[in-house]
């Protein structure tokens, strides 16, 4: 009995020893990887009744609502916008509010604004005369809101305090939970020439015909967001970090010169009044035109209109429900076309407005790009919820609002354009129309987190461009991010950085986020798990306000994957991925007990024959001996212990289908990079065939520096390639390939 127990323990000891040999490098090399796989409990806010640990809105989730009834008047001669609003604010929070905060974004263009005073980046590349005068000659652009009144509907003034781009309204009576308050505002501001001052709105002037093209946004005092995550989100507008906005209903009258064509967020209520009979008929036709756009305003009509300047006015009336913002664009230069797109069981209108300077490009690709975006994004996320999507052609622009966006893309004077102009224009339309999902509907806090709208959107944009055309030269792939990641490390910051603090937003918030999502979909989660989880996130948070934790948690909750290591590495650090092949060792198989086994037997006071019979991988010592062994060895035939086992457990037919490996390789993978990452590896055989392997990131959990795998193959390996498709943002390719010495 004792003898048998001793024997068994030797057996287990031996088995354990063999197992450890097979997993390669002992743990004395490298170190346990507790940090990189540690859960994000310290980085993420604690789940609560508002936001659950699964990443979904909780039972106490709430959001405020702000409805706006507004009138806007455009003074086209002086580029001034005047506005009046009645705002109704609904307090659905559990908190009593003594005051309200509104955003005065136009105040970024006040002389000596906070944004101006906090610029620390030296001279510009060059200065247009107006900009030079504004900057250095004491005549700054006099932008910013002029507030004429803030009052209750009866006329009682509401005291207010303006702090740069934010305004606090001190309510007469505190606003209790569940109550609403209405108040009125009147204001005006000078519209900026955005081609000089930059910005996400303004006008573009055309010297040849004296006309302006207006893209009007951030044009009214907007309610700041109040929520469970931030309280009042009233972080100042510095120009980079975009907007944080409540949903609400809009009823807006916009008065412009009578010869303007105008589009805006929402449903055009008085279409019959503002369009000519002919234009109205064409619009009706567009509702049934699924193949190509119908021109509502033609080139001839637009060219004729830009020769005149009407002294009369016309009022356009729009209504929009459950949107987070309202923008419009107006000019007498506009051509205008529209096409019907079927989304689910609804018909959505894709539309474009563009001056003749963009016409040859936009007639062909503008509305078509809008239509393609609506279909593609609806497939990847959820059906487009609004009745229309409008793309406006505005020089140098790329900016998004609910249902309407501004996009660059002009032709040369002779009407020609390059392929890169064409792709750039399609790309910006896809991107800006795509923003209807993130952040217009999945309404994240842009002021805080640029990546939550820009990065997620850049990723779906990439998928949308892939389905539009092969080799579109999309931004957002891991490979193209390598120069940024491996460049000047002092210029990098984690994705989880407030957007105004990000130096290279294009690379960080847009590209790195997109590349991260691409990696998750391509090889960390796979398409099926990723697509389900990503859709779950979008659907859980549509028409709501998600935070980063809600995204991270939902992606794990819906996929059944612990991704904390990936969020930690890719989102919270600036670490890079670098995996390589460090060493390849050859083995042959034998049934002769190795010296190690003999030593063990001796230590247990046993004879080696008393040990169970096993097969051993042994290093052949010399290349000649290896060849000799390989010539002889056919494991399934040559080793009685294996042969007996096979015959006992498998039929001849089954045996013929088993692999019969002859070559045994121990491959040591090294990881000089900080990040843990799956190992993607192609094994190429001497006959040119290959096999692809994928080892999940958890392979690094016990050793952060190197791991070892044994490959048993029937054919000789000629080459081992790490990350063969270049999809892991591996910053150093020098160690990615091992080749058999010839």
CB of 676 to Zn ion, least distance (A): 30
Residue 444, Cα to own-chain centre: how many angstroms? 12
Q: What angle do CA 392, 395, 398 make, to 5 degrees?
A: 60
Which of 193, 251, 454, 550 binds Zn ion (CB under 5 A)? It is: 454
Q: Encode 256-291 in three state secondary structure.
A: EECCCEEEECCEECCHHHHCCHHHHHHHHHHCCCCC
Backbone angles phi, psi at 171, to 5 degrees: -70, 145
Total residues at the site for Zn ion (CB under 5 A)?
1
Stretch that binds Zn ion, among 133-141, 448-456, 623-631, 687-695 (CB under 5 A): 448-456
- The CA distance from 312 to 259, in Å, is 8
Task: Kindly tell me which of 193 and 454 has the beta carbon lying closer to Zn ion.
Answer: 454
CB of 431 to Zn ion, least distance (A): 5
Stretch that binds Zn ion, among 84-92, 453-461, 495-503, 640-648 (CB under 5 A): 453-461
Task: Kindly tell me which of 242 and 730 has the beta carbon lying closer to Zn ion.
Answer: 242
How many residues does this entry show for the chain?
742
Task: Count CA atoms within 13 Å of residue 472 on its CB side.
Answer: 22
CB of 396 to Zn ion, least distance (A): 14
- The CA distance from 402 to 388, in Å, is 10
CB of 32 to Zn ion, least distance (A): 41
Task: Kindly tell me which of 91 and 458 has the beta carbon lying closer to Zn ion.
Answer: 458
Task: Count CA atoms within 13 Å of residue 696 on its CB side.
Answer: 12
CB of 508 to Zn ion, least distance (A): 13
Stretch that binds Zn ion, among 161-169, 269-277, 330-338, 450-458 (CB under 5 A): 450-458
CB of 140 to Zn ion, least distance (A): 29
CB of 435 to Zn ion, least distance (A): 6
Task: Kindly tell me which of 105 and 454 has the beta carbon lying closer to Zn ion.
Answer: 454
- Cβ neighbors of 120 (< 8 A, separation 6 or more) are none
Cis-peptide, bond into residue 439, ω within 30° of zero: yes
Residue 10: its H or E element? helix 2-22
- The CA distance from 134 to 141, in Å, is 6
Sketch the per residue contact string, 164 through 183, with Zn ion: x for CB under 5 A, - otherwise.
--------------------
Task: Kindly tell me which of 454 and 500 has the beta carbon lying closer to Zn ion.
Answer: 454
Distances (CA, A) of 412 to 211, 305, 364, 417, 421: 19, 22, 16, 6, 10
Task: Kindly tell me which of 218 and 708 has the beta carbon lying closer to Zn ion.
Answer: 218
- The CA distance from 377 to 207, in Å, is 38
CB of 557 to Zn ion, least distance (A): 27
CB of 505 to Zn ion, least distance (A): 10
Q: What is the largest CA-CA distance in the chain?
A: 111
Stretch that binds Zn ion, among 35-43, 301-309, 350-358, 451-459 (CB under 5 A): 451-459
Task: Kindly tell me which of 337 and 454 has the beta carbon lying closer to Zn ion.
Answer: 454
Task: Kindly tell me which of 200 and 568 has the beta carbon lying closer to Zn ion.
Answer: 200
Stretch that binds Zn ion, among 87-95, 382-390, 436-444, 454-462 (CB under 5 A): 454-462
Judge contact between 540 and 554, C-beta under 8 A. yes
Task: Kindly tell me which of 451 and 534 has the beta carbon lying closer to Zn ion.
Answer: 451
First to last CA, the chain: 56
Helix spans in 63-119 (H): 114-117
Task: Kindly tell me which of 144 and 450 has the beta carbon lying closer to Zn ion.
Answer: 450
Task: Kindly tell me which of 454 and 556 has the beta carbon lying closer to Zn ion.
Answer: 454
CB of 436 to Zn ion, least distance (A): 11
CB of 234 to Zn ion, least distance (A): 23
Sketch the per residue contact string, 278 through 317, with Zn ion: x for CB under 5 A, - otherwise.
----------------------------------------
Residue nearest to Zn ion (CB): 454
DSSP conformational letter for 604: T
Residue 556 binds Zn ion (CB under 5 A):
no
- The CA distance from 355 to 406, in Å, is 13
- The CA distance from 739 to 719, in Å, is 4
Pairing of strands 580-590, 335-343: unpaired
CB of 109 to Zn ion, least distance (A): 21
- Cβ neighbors of 38 (< 8 A, separation 6 or more) are 564, 568
Judge contact between 387 and 320, C-beta under 8 A. no
Task: Kindly tell me which of 68 and 437 has the beta carbon lying closer to Zn ion.
Answer: 437
- The CA distance from 120 to 102, in Å, is 27
In the block, which residue shows the tokens 């405020």? Answer: 64
Positions in 241-270 near Zn ion (CB under 5 A) = none
Sketch the per residue contact string, 373 through 412, with Zn ion: x for CB under 5 A, - otherwise.
----------------------------------------
Residues at the site binding Zn ion, with contacts judged by CB under 5 A: 454
């Amino acid at each position: 009995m004792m003898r048998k127990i001793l024997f068994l323990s030797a057996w287990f000891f031996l088995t354990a020893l063999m197992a450890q040999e097979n997993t390669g490098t002992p743990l004395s090399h490298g170190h346990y990887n507790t940090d990189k796989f540690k859960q994000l409990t310290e980085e993420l806010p604690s789940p609560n009744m508002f936001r659950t640990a699964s990443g979904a809105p909780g039972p106490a989730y709430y959001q405020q609502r702000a409805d706006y009834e507004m009138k806007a008047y455009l003074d086209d001669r002086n580029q001034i916008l005047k506005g009046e609003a009645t705002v109704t604010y609904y307090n659905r929070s559990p908190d009593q509010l003594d005051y309200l905060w509104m955003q005065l974004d136009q105040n970024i263009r006040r002389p000596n604004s906070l944004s101006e005073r906090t610029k620390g980046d030296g001279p510009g590349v060059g200065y247009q005369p107006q900009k030079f005068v504004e900057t250095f000659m004491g005549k700054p652009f006099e932008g910013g809101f002029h507030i004429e009144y803030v009052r209750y509907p009866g006329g009682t003034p509401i005291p207010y305090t303006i702090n740069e781009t934010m305004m606090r309204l001190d309510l007469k009576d505190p606003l209790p939970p569940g109550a609403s308050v209405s108040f009125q505002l009147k204001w005006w501001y000078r519209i900026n020439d955005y081609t000089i001052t930059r910005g996400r709105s303004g006008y573009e002037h055309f010297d040849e015909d004296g006309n302006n093209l207006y893209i009007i946004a951030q044009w009214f005092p907007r309610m700041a967001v109040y929520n469970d995550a931030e309280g009042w989100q009233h972080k100042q507008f510095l120009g980079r970090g975009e907007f944080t906005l409540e949903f609400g209903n809009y009823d807006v009258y916009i008065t412009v010169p009578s010869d303007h064509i105008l589009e805006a967020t929402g449903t055009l209520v008085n279409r019959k009044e503002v369009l000519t009979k002919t234009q109205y008929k064409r619009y009706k036709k567009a509702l049934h035109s699924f193949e190509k756009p119908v021109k509502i305003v033609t080139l001839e009509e637009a060219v004729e209109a830009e020769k005149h300047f009407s002294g009369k006015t016309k009022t356009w009336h729009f209504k929009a429900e459950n949107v987070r913002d309202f923008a419009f664009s107006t000019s007498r230069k506009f051509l205008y076309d529209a096409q019907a797109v079927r989304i689910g069981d609804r018909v959505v209108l894709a539309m474009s407005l563009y001056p003749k300077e963009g016409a040859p490009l936009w007639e062909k690709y503008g509305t078509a790009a809008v239509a393609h975006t609506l279909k593609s994004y609806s497939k990847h996320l959820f059906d487009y919820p609004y009745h229309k999507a409008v793309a406006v052609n505005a020089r140098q622009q790329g900016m998004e609002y609910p249902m309407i966006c501004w996009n660059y893309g002009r032709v040369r004077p002779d009407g020609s354009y390059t392929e890169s102009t064409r792709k750039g224009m399609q790309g910006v339309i896809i991107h800006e129309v795509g923003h209807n999902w993130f952040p217009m509907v999945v309404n994240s806090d842009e002021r805080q987190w640029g990546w939550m709208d820009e990065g997620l959107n850049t990723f779906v944009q990439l998928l949308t461009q892939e389905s539009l055309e092969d080799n579109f030269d999309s931004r957002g792939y891991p490979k193209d991010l390598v120069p940024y990641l491996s460049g000047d490390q002092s210029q990098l910051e984690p994705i989880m950085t407030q957007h105004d603090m990000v130096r290279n937003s294009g690379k960080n918030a847009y590209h790195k986020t997109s590349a991260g999502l691409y990696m998750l979909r391509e090889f960390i989660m796979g398409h099926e798990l990723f697509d389900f989880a990503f859709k779950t996130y979008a659907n859980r948070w549509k028409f709501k306000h998600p935070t980063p934790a809600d995204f991270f948690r939902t992606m794990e909750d819906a996929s059944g994957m612990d991704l904390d290591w990936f969020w930690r590495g890719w989102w919270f650090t600036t670490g890079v991925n670098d995996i390589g092949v460090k060493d390849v060792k050859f083995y042959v198989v034998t049934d002769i007990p190795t010296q190690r086994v003999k030593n063990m037997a001796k230590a247990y006071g046993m004879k080696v024959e008393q040990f169970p019979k096993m097969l051993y991988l042994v290093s052949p010592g010399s290349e000649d001996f290896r060849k000799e062994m390989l010539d002889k060895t056919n494991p399934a035939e040559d080793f009685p212990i294996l042969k007996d086992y096979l015959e006992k457990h498998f039929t001849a037919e089954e045996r013929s289908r088993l692999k019969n490996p002859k070559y045994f390789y121990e491959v040591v993978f090294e990881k000089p990079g900080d990040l843990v990452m799956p190992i993607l590896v192609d094994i190429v055989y001497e006959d040119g065939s290959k096999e692809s392997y994928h080892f999940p990131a958890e392979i690094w959990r016990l050793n952060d520096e190197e791991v070892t795998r044994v490959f048993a193959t029937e054919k000789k390996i000629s080459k081992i390639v790490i990350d063969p498709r270049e999809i892991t943002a591996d910053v150093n390719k020098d160690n990615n390939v091992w080749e058999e010495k010839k």
